Amino acid sequence: ALVTVSAPQDLTTLAGDIAGRPVRFWPGESMREWNGLAGVGLDAAPGSIALTIQGTTTSGAVATAKAPSKKTA
């Protein structure tokens, strides 16, 4: 699935994790807009899965956020 993140300030890096698998992000049109691809195995049970993202700002501050996502059958 395509994941789009809009940050309140410029980020130098953004990484994520969903169901124990890495989510790779790349910057969009600005350093506040990032896109990533998240994949969950077909053998994963349907239901809620937490997406965790961690970004680093241009000043070096690190922020982490969790967002619920859902796998359907």
Mean pLDDT of 8-20: 94
This prediction's pTM: 0.82
pLDDT at 73 over 70: no
Residue 18 pairs in a beta bridge with 21, 51
pLDDT at 1 over 70: yes
DSSP E strands, 1-73: 2-6, 11-18, 21-27, 33-37, 47-57, 62-71
Mean pLDDT of 40-52: 83
pLDDT at 15 over 80: yes
Mean pLDDT of 21-32: 95
